[in-house]
Amino acid sequence: MNWRPNGNGEPEGATRRPRTTFGEATDDRTNSAASAGGSKERAARFGNGWLPACLTPSEISGGVAEIRAGAEQSGRALPADFDVAPQLAVALGRTREEALKTFEESQIFTHMRSLSESTLNSRQADLTERNLIGSPDDVLEQVQRYADAGATTLSALLFAANDVPQTLEQMQEFSESIIAVVNDRVEGTDQAALGRHGPRPRRV
């Protein structure tokens, strides 16, 4: 999906469905959501995709390997377009320090901390490594690491903001500084750079 500013200066299509995708979505899909073992088992046996949350690139890579192994054990080949779609928070700033401050002052950070004894009980020490936080260059590198790990979609991105104007500002910056750059790479406008960066996302 290519996002561009509409007449109101807002990312077109972003206010209703803030979704960044590396691949084309298809209908009638069964996706297994969550990060626990049961979710990976369901994805392996029945799914067209896996939708975990707040995982590092290395955890995504390990999870994909588990799902592929589980599919083989159940006598199933994963679909060629199997979707790996982690949910992540986004905080952009001119510097990593500024972005981190925005993240730590946001409602989403407070929410993640509130899950310290449940969903995210083992994922509190390194939240900054489990989300897209930093300058545009930092986040582009993070997106590439997720793509290298096997992510095909960044689904249901949570923008670190405390009101609607701040949310729209973050979304606008993300559409211009991240989505547009990755789309250009995928469309082949910077093949030399892509070759240096290794595997690339199919599409943003």
> To the nearest 10°, the Cα dihedral for 79, 21, 30, 47?
40
Alpha-carbon gap, residue 19 to 93, rounded angstroms: 20
| pLDDT tens per residue across span 75-89 | 988 888 898 999 899
52, 86 contact by CB (below 8 A): yes
| pLDDT tens per residue across span 87-110 | 899 999 999 999 999 999 998 888
Please name the residues in contact with 167: beta carbons below 8 A apart, sequence gap of 6 or more: 159, 161
Secondary structure of residue 68 in the 3-state scheme = helix
Least confident of 82-86, 153-157, 180-184, 189-193: 189-193
The number of residues making up the chain comes to 204
pLDDT band at 16 (very low <50, low <70, confident <90, very high): very low
Characterize the bridge pairing of strands 153-154 and 20-21.
Answer: antiparallel
Tokens 């799902």, located at residue? 67
Cβ neighbour number for residue 162 with a 10 Å cutoff: 13
Q: Outline where DSSP puts E strands in 47-134.
A: 49-51, 83-84, 89-92, 132-134
Q: What's this model's pTM, rounded to 2 decimal places? A: 0.72
> In order of start, what are the domains of the chain with their CATH numbers?
31-197 (3.20.20.30)
